[in-house]
């Protein structure tokens, strides 16, 4: 069968790639085309556009790039019609994908949404758009099924695909990894400043500001594969900080603690049992607009899933050198606080449904198309 898949970010590329791997196992006639990244391409999807050309953060940034976004949408519509897939699979990325869902539904295509937009946080009215234009919604967070049921829209909870991504990773914790990466034997504090240049420019200088207070550790940046080394070097020049590109999971396996920009990486870090501090600082106008609209208590997936504060979130003005030092000391030097977080991470894993999300999602997609 023919599959058209759209993932607009690094995390979507990861989960789409694992989904494609399972689809290929179940469907020997798999033909894939779509928007995503290197991981999807490695699984045999013909890439039309790379996600690095699509990622615009915040309200102000989206407005500034509106012409490009609209051109991309029109190009995507035409490409879908030319390919005429048996099923269109949309992976998160709601600003773009919900427009495509409406178009595809009206064009008579089967539409599956894998990884729900976070409409439970804001723009809950989008649920009516989803009900109208999406044939099947596959959700990955346990509370999302209950949310959709309130709107009389049945969805499938398949479990969280990060568990599959971690189980399927190529790198494992082997002796010599630190030496291979040019690192010392000091314990590692991982820095995960995001996957977009805009995020990195905002977050990395703040993360690096605490270096002198933690000389017994080495700080190592998990470099995003789509980001040029020069972006990191602009901030690390003259320091001992190393960058390891495309090795985030191996880095987390070898890390003692982490500073993490809010997003999927907060959950990945927790699933590797690495105590963390969650960081977020964005455009001040975008932040205040979001604060007025968003209806959730937390920004990190860890806290959202557990429905309580498990990891500290330093947001906007709270994200400063003084607070970073305080919170990092709590998870490196305070044994009791560190152990409590690790115990909570075990409970978190139990909430996520166990491995096999990608396989369950692939089977539901095939069953739906063939029904």
- pLDDT range class, residue 370, cuts 50, 70, 90: confident
Asked if 244 and 181 touch (Cβ cutoff 8 Å), the reply is yes
pTM greater than the 0.85 cutoff: no
pLDDT in tens, 321-345: 999 999 999 999 999 999 999 999 9
For residue 38, pLDDT over 60 is answered with yes
Helix, coil or strand: residue 277:
strand
Q: How far apart are CA 260 and CA 257, in angstroms?
A: 10
Per-residue model confidence (pLDDT) at position 172: 52
> Residue 306: in which H helix or E strand, if any?
helix 301-306
Closest CA to 224 of 37, 94, 62: 37
Structure tokens at 94: 């709601």
Structure tokens at 79: 């490409």
Q: Which domains does the chain have, with CATH numbers?
A: 2-159+356-370 (3.40.50.2000), 177-351 (3.40.50.2000)
For residue 155, pLDDT over 80 is answered with yes
Name the pairing type of β-strands 276-280 and 312-315: parallel
pLDDT in tens, 259-302: 999 888 999 999 999 999 999 886 555 554 455 445 568 889 99
Q: What does DSSP assign to residue 176?
A: T
Asked if 4 and 80 touch (Cβ cutoff 8 Å), the reply is yes
């Amino acid at each position: 069968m023919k599959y058209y898949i759209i993932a607009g970010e690094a995390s979507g590329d990861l989960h789409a790639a694992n989904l494609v791997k399972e689809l290929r196992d179940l469907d020997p006639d798999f033909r894939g085309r779509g928007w995503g990244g290197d991981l999807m391409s490695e699984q045999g999807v013909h890439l039309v556009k790379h996600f690095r050309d699509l990622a615009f953060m915040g309200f102000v940034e989206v407005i500034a790039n509106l012409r490009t976004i609209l051109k991309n949408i029109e190009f995507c519509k035409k490409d879908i019609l030319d390919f005429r897939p048996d099923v269109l699979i949309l992976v998160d990325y709601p600003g773009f994908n919900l427009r495509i869902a409406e178009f595809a539904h009206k064009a008579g295509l089967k539409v599956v949404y894998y990884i729900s937009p976070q409409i439970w946080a804001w723009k809950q009215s989008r649920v009516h758009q989803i009900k109208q234009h999406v044939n099947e919604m596959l959700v990955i967070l346990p509370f999302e099924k209950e949310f959709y049921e309130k709107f009389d829209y049945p969805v499938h909870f398949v479990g969280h695909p990060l568990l599959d991504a971690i189980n399927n990773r190529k790198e494992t914790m082997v002796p010599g990894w630190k030496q291979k990466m040019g690192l010392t034997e000091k314990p590692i504090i991982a820095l995960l400043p995001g996957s977009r240049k805009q995020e990195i420019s905002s977050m990395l200088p703040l993360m690096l500001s605490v270096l002198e207070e933690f000389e017994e550790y080495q700080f190592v940046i998990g470099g995003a594969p789509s980001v040029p080394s020069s972006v990191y070097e602009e901030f690390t020049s003259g320091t001992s900080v190393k960058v390891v590109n495309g090795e985030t999971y191996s880095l987390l396996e070898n890390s003692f603690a982490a500073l993490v920009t809010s997003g999927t990486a907060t959950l990945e870090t927790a699933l590797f049992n690495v105590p963390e501090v969650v960081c977020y600082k964005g455009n001040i106008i975008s932040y205040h607009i979001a604060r007025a609209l968003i209806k959730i208590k937390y920004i990190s997936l860890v806290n959202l899933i557990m429905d309580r504060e498990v990891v500290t979130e330093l947001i906007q003005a709270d994200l400063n050198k003084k607070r970073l030092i305080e919170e990092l000391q709590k998870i490196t030097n305070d044994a009791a606080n560190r152990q409590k977080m690790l115990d909570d991470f075990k409970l978190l894993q139990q909430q996520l449904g166990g491995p096999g999300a990608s396989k369950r999602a692939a089977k539901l997609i095939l069953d739906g198309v063939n029904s």
